[in-house]
C-alpha cells in the first residue's frame, strides 16, 4: 500500500471516531491501525514475525491514543458535574450538562445533589448523587440513571475524587 492509502485508512478511522460510540471508536481505530501497520510492515520487511510485531505495535499505539482521548472526554464530563455540585448545600439540586470538545461521546445532561459534606483539617469534600437524564438539546422525558461520587475542592475548583462509582459509568477509563 502506498502512503496515500495508509492516510486514507487513518482518515476512515478518524471518521469512525466521531460516531459517539466508544466501542466503535476503539475497535474501528484499532482495526484501521492494524491494516495500516500491516501495510507499513510489508514495505519494511518480508519477515512474518517482524511484520507481525510492527502491526501489533501500531495497533497498540492507536488503541492507547483512543483511550487517552476517552479519558480526556470523561474528565470533561466529571469536571462539569463537579462544577455544578461545588457550590451546592446539602440537599440542593442543580442541573449539569456537557458539550464535549471532541465528539466521541454523547453530549449529556442531568441533575446533581449533595448528600453530605466531608470536611476535616483543611480538606473539603462532598458526596454527590448525580443523574444522567438524556442528551443535550433533546427534549424527552428523562430516563434517569443515578450514580454516587465524591468531589473535593482543589484550590478554587471542585474536582472528581472517586474512582469506584465511575467504573460502572465510564468503565476502566475514567
**3-state helix, strand and coil shares in percent for the chain, rounded to the nearest 5:** 50, 25, 25
Q: What is the pTM of this model?
A: 0.64
Work out the number of other CB atoms within 10 angstroms of the CB of residue 135: 14
- pLDDT tens-place values along the chain, 174 residues long: 444 444 333 433 443 444 444 444 545 555 555 556 556 666 677 777 777 777 778 778 878 877 777 777 888 899 999 999 999 999 999 999 999 887 788 899 999 999 999 988 889 999 999 999 888 877 766 678 899 999 999 889 999 987 654 555 656 655
Amino acid at each position: 500500500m502506498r502512503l496515500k492509502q495508509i492516510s486514507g485508512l487513518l482518515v476512515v478511522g478518524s471518521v469512525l471516531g466521531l460516531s459517539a460510540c466508544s466501542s466503535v471508536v476503539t475497535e474501528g481505530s484499532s482495526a484501521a491501525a492494524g491494516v495500516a501497520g500491516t501495510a507499513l510492515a510489508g514495505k519494511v520487511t518480508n519477515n512474518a514475525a517482524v511484520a507481525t510485531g510492527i502491526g501489533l505495535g501500531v495497533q497498540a499505539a492507536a488503541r492507547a491514543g483512543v483511550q487517552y482521548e476517552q479519558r480526556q472526554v470523561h474528565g470533561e464530563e466529571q469536571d462539569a458535574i463537579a462544577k455544578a455540585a461545588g457550590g451546592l448545600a446539602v440537599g440542593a439540586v442543580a442541573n449539569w450538562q456537557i458539550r464535549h470538545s471532541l465528539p466521541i461521546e454523547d453530549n449529556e445532561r442531568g441533575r446533581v445533589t449533595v448528600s453530605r459534606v466531608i470536611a476535616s483539617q483543611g480538606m473539603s469534600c462532598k458526596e454527590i448523587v448525580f443523574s444522567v437524564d438524556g442528551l443535550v438539546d433533546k427534549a424527552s422525558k428523562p430516563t434517569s440513571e443515578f450514580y454516587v461520587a465524591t468531589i473535593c475542592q482543589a484550590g478554587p475548583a471542585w474536582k472528581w475524587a472517586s474512582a469506584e462509582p465511575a467504573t460502572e459509568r465510564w468503565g476502566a477509563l475514567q
